[in-house]
Amino acid sequence: MAHTHRFSVVVPAHNEENYIGKCLKAIREAEKQAAPDTVQIIVAANRCTDRTAEIAKEYGAEVIGNQDKCIASIRNAGAKCASGEILVTVDADTFIAPETFCEIRSLLESGKYIGGGAMPVFDRASLGIAVSSFYILLLMLPEIFRSKALLSGAVFWCKKTDFDAVGGFDETRISLEDLDFAKRLKKHGEQSGKKYGTLKKSKIYTSARKFDQFGDWYLIKNRKLTKRIFTGKDREAADQFYYDVR
């Protein structure tokens, strides 16, 4: 009989050898609090040419290869391999708190929540990062108004059956697929009187590596590109900032 897990964690990873070890170590630490041997980790190794897959296997992760230039399809590919009742998505440069799985389980078992996200903080702060984050928020206001809520993201969590019910992430979106998923999950929950939740007790950190790579003021200095990135449909802009960066 195949082993079943309580949680399946999908980690999309493109050349993440500098971050994925810390990410997976945090997941395994959180597993210890939830209950040992309850977490399946699936690393969707996207066009990797470094040690990402090797490091992932050291942490007992299942590694699948992926060649897409679309974060939605990369996450969905990982989700297709999930055997857990609860599905969680964590980016490879994001580090969850030890109590994360316990909090997710508690919220879902309360019957009040369909799933939700988290409100991560960067692992370092600067004026440029703060101004850039505020500018991005302004660009996303139309989507936020349409969803009638400021929906959290970064670490998504829900039951696998509900992930499948909403069709996973929209693979026609080049970016903003996370906000779109949150909107659809929220709407799906409303049908059964459930809310979209946000992790409150678990502190989630994400790296400021894009700012490290491009500079803390890059998105402000290149506002035309930033606007194109956050339309969710501009392939050239997404490739320039995400997929074809070396």
How many Cβ atoms sit within 10 Å of the Cβ of residue 212? 11
What is the C-alpha to C-alpha distance for residues 63 and 51, in angstroms, rounded to an integer? 12
Residue 74: HSE in the Cβ half-sphere, 13 Å Cα cutoff: 27
Q: How many residues in the chain?
A: 246
- How would you write the pLDDT of the chain (246 residues) with one tens digit per residue? 345 679 999 999 999 999 999 999 999 999 999 988 899 999 999 999 999 999 999 999 999 999 998 999 999 999 999 999 999 999 999 999 999 999 999 999 999 999 999 999 999 999 999 999 999 989 888 877 776 667 888 899 999 999 999 999 999 988 889 989 999 999 999 999 999 999 999 999 999 999 999 999 999 999 999 999 887 777 787 778 777 765
Residues 6+ apart with CB under 8 A from 109: none
pLDDT of residue 1: 36
pLDDT of residue 143: 74
pLDDT of residue 238: 76
Cα dist. 143→112, 140, 148, 167, 224 in Å? 25, 5, 9, 19, 18
E strand spans, the chain: 7-13, 39-46, 62-66, 86-89, 94-95, 113-118, 121-122, 153-159, 195-198, 205-206
Q: Which domains does the chain have, with CATH numbers?
A: 7-124+151-212 (3.90.550.10)
Please give the distance of CA 145 from its chain centroid, rounded to a whole number: 22
Task: Give the pair of three-digit tokens for residue 95.
Answer: 């580090």
